[in-house]
Structure 1
Amino acid sequence: MGSVSDDKYLRDIVVSFLLAGRDTVASGLTVFFYLMAQYPDAEARILEESDRALGQGSKKIPTLEEIRKMNYLQGAIYETLRLYPPVQMDSKFAKNHDVLPDGTHVKKGTRVSYHPYAMGRMESIWGSDCLEFRPERWLNDDGLFVPVSPYKYPVFQAGVRVCLGKDMGLLAMKVVAVTLLRRFHIRLADSNWAPQFIPGLTATLKGGMPVVVTERFV
């Protein structure tokens, strides 16, 4: 096993980190803009919130402090990833014999898989509106973002194996999302288009997403 003083090991870790973040962030942003085209009211709320944080009509790239003020944007990103997680299914292998919380015995070396895509659409987990895109479900009465247990929302995994790039990936998505929304109208080229995914580690869209992009004028 490598160490922090091993240049090749560090290189491999950095490359893995960047590649893992590239494909997942790209997948998440694509379906985010798809949902914005489907839910213009949510898009309007993000634009209103960004006007309060950045100033009316500003085209600048938001700072970290400004991004932290955008609770509805955070909810919209989390809601996007609930319905369309970039990694739709994942697995773990038991290093030793174990017992799951429901009493199931897992033998050493057993592969245990879980399905964030399916979990995000289960009524028993998210309620009767589980198939609806509702960023408000992530906000409290004061409009502040409130996370849930990562075991309920395993998009970034949970426990000691939580995604190392979670914060960086979320920040990248929020900065790109709000910057592009404030500058451009992004609409589907075909109103009947719906996401279809290519089987693989990450949720890559088959054929991409055809859109019409026009510049906003303030």
Structure 2
Amino acid sequence: MAASLLGASLLGVLRAYPEILISVACFFFFYCYRKKMNEGTGIPVNWPFVGMLPALLVHLHQLHDWGTMILKETGCNFFFHGPWYSGMDMLITCDPANVYHVFSANFHNYPKGDDFSEIFDVLGDGIFNSDAESWRRQRMKAHSLINDRRFRAFVAQSSRSKVEKGLIPLLDQLAEQEVAVDLQDVFLRLTFDTTCYLVFGVDPGCLSIGFPTIPFAKAMDDATGALLVRHTVPPAWWKLQRWLRVGVEKKMALAWEVMDQFIAQRIAEKKEERNRSRSHEEEAPRDLLSSYVDVCDDLHLVDAENPMEFDKFLRDTAMNFMIAGRDTTGAALTWFFWLLSKNPLVESKILEELKSLRKKSSCFDNMTLFDAEELKGLVYLHAALCESLRLYPPVPFEHKGVLQSEVLPSGDKAQPSTKILFSLYSMGRMEGVWGKDCLEFKPERWISEKGRLRHEPSYKFTSFNSGPRTCIGKDMAFTQMKAVVAAMVYNFHVDVVEGHVVQPKISIILHMKNGLMVRIRKRASACL
């Protein structure tokens, strides 16, 4: 009798409070799931209705390494089943043959697509979101501007200037004070200032003693964090949050407003500068925004007679360049110096190579700086940077849409109802691609027996994308990174704080989750 009454009471409670029943069901669901995962191979279970989403949520904190483990077990290709009708079904691959086919051989069948554009809506109709003819025209113009002799000289000069007047004095002070500092924060501030100067012609002074908060920089961080979340939940969920303006989507909306205000102000300034230079016959600045204001109507990129369309094009273009230039280079430098701290022999080889340029280098305040031209010929420095980018690509994954169904070289079927996600992070960790020593930081793999740089095809080394969409800012990125690395390695030694935990942050850019806490030590004077 007592048992019957207790059962009836419990049933009544569950009927009155159905959320309790749901909570209990979820508890047993995840308990059974974790137990099955521990007993199995680690490949996620495709559950009814929810698909493999529970596995994704459980391993979200280690997304890149978890994905790498799965791709190793499945031979570089794995089909992820999302919840029913969620639009999350995708083929995940790091197979170089698939990369070549999708990014090069049959490029036109694999656009970014509407889903990509919607996820990255903050980029507007810029070059990263565009496809077909719009993309072709934008890329042609961007390529011509970035490869212009005057702009390349502008990049080299501004990179050296920022290192000389911003980075070196800051590091010198940190070395004197013997305090720990987050090197990732330093690099992101450095590349933010540098990219702002290249794109807008202004230095916001983010890399300053005292580390001031720059609203535009913080807004970019908030936006990239929200973009990652959009990749890991059903589209209907984040779209609902966007509509309600809650959660990470509220942060995205606020960040969007801050970024738009900053860019709008810069556009207005550039238009005023253009009018002033015309009236006084002065040469306009060579930053990218100034160049676009001057020539954007050349290939009918936009109707220059329509002010709103004109300003939107400039806004989208500037936003795309800022995302591409700031975060990627900052992340690459952070991982490079962490690897260098773990591999002192590599550091010593870079230092010896730099010493060969000592007579050509210039000194100031007992510090040594190098020009971009002289750094171009350093084989080992370039190889070390490539090796770091292989293991820690700043953009860890890339995804594509599908126009027409076909079978990929791996034997997997690509069809319009699914996305294809390429794990660039995992590719650098595949023995079948890079050999049994793929997990080692080994710059020598990039150097031939004759001591020259060894070329690796872009479908194998995908840090700068591959095929027609290969990064047009590749040379610019290397120029900036070499200027920073040469000055830092020659003048300072970086020690990672003992016990500091280094792991990838879950973001669309491969930042470090906990930053990189280091202490800076000044080397013996190189100018004596």
Q: TM-score, normalised by structure 2?
A: 0.39
CA shift for structure 1 position 128? 1.0
Q: What code does the residue aligned with 1:205 have?
A: M
CA-CA distance at 1:124 after TM superposition: 0.7
Task: Select which of 386, 392, 398 maps to 1:90.
Answer: 398
Structure 2 gap ranges (5+)? 1-124, 126-133, 139-295, 303-309
SS of equivalent to 1:148 = coil
Which whole-Å CA distance do the structure 2 matches of 1:212 and 1:158 have between them? 37
Give the whole-Å Cα distance in 2 for the aligned partners of 1:63 and 1:125.
35
Bigger fraction of residues in helix:
2
Aligned residues, how many?
Answer: 217
Which residue of 377, 391, 394 maps to 1:69? Answer: 377
CA deviation after TM superposition for structure 1 residue 205, in Å: 1.0
Matched, 1:30 2:334: yes
Amino acid at match of 1:50: L
After superposition, the CA RMSD in angstroms is 2.1
Q: From 473, 480, 483, give the equivalent of 1:172.
A: 480
Deviation string, structure 1 residues 83-131 (Cα, Å, up to 9, x no partner): 1111111111124444433454422364111111111011111111111
Residue 86 of structure 1: SS of its match in structure 2?
Answer: coil
Matched, 1:155 2:463: yes
Give the AA of the match of 1:152.
K
Q: Is the 1:46–1:72 contact (alpha carbons within 8 Å) kept by the matching residues of 2?
A: yes
2:427 maps to 1:119: yes
The answer to whether structure 1 residue 12 and structure 2 residue 322 are counterparts is no
How far apart are residue 194 of structure 1 and its match? 4.3
Give the conservation status (yes or no) of the 8 Å contact 1:27–1:86: yes
Higher strand share: 1
- CA contact 2:368–2:490 (8 Å) conserved in 1: no
AA at the equivalent of 1:153: F
Query: Is residue 344 of structure 2 the alignment partner of residue 40 of structure 1?
Result: yes
Q: Which structure's CA Rg is the greater one? A: 2
* Alpha-carbon distance in 1 for matches of 2:493, 2:519: 8
What does residue 513 of structure 2 align with? 206
> Which residue identity does 1:23 align to in structure 2?
D
CA separation of 1:115/1:56 partners in 2, compared to 1, >3 Å: closer, same or farther? same
With structure 1 as the length reference, what TM-score do the two structures score? 0.90
Shift of 1:54: 4.0
One-letter amino acid of the counterpart of residue 208, structure 1? G
SS for the counterpart of 2:520 is: strand
The answer on whether the counterparts of 1:17 and 1:165 sit within 8 Å (CA) in structure 2 is: no
Distance 1:174 1:57, change over 3 A: closer
Q: Note the residue ranges of structure 1 that are not aligned, 5 or more in a row.
A: none
Structure 1 counterpart of 2:519, one-letter code: V
